[in-house]
Structure 1
Amino acid sequence: MKSISPNIFINDLQATMTFYTKLGFTVTDEVTTPEGEKVFALMTNESVTIMFQTFASIEGKHPMVNRTAGGSLLFYISVNNIRQYYDDIKEHVTVLTGLEKTFYGATEFSLCDNNNYLLTFAKHD
């Protein structure tokens, strides 16, 4: 295996793209229906890739995807310069847990995205 890129189901694609842009992600690909509705975006920040797809775009196709956005899922994202990254984004998002050193040696902070997913950013020293 080489990599994994989660495909996160969301309700509002534009709001999600706007939120993740604040975290330094850029849109590298999009899918638009023939009717002109954006239903998918691939966003990257360095080597991290996340895909976002609307719940509406899969309605009736994948019945196992039946929950609302958010939930008991945490995205653990490693970053190189966590203090600089934290300083760059902290004024643009709601930080849940500020920079802290964990008992296992990582420096971390957490935030909740606009879809109620928990994101933890970490630097292991």
Structure 2
Amino acid sequence: MRKYVLATVIGLGVLTMNAQDFNSKSIAVEKGDVIEIGKPSTFKYKHIKFPRANFIIKRGGIANYKAALGDEVVVTNVDATKNGVTKVDVKRKDGKRFFNTVSTVSINFEDALAANEIKL
């Protein structure tokens, strides 16, 4: 009888540990929010989908990723995928294009925020 009670207590303990809500730590972002682009942790931005340098140069732009540092951007679209990743489309607050070629870029929100590529 003691074995059944002990097994039941352990089973309920395991079930309650897995019932924690992990999504409560995420920050909600909405259309119209202003975000600042921060410094990447590496040479290139990993979670902000800027076009590659050769595409920027072909379109007559200047491929200087440091120029995007500190730009304020406005959220234009928020999309949550099936696997829980939030994709955010942004455009510059002043209305100009990124690198004189691209008007909007896509950001993997949670990963970019964790890597300090964006600031709220």
TM-score in terms of structure 2 length: 0.28
Query: Greater helix share, 1 or 2?
Result: 2
Q: Which has the higher contact order (CA 8 A, sep 6+)?
A: 2
Larger Rg: 2
TM-score in terms of structure 1 length: 0.28
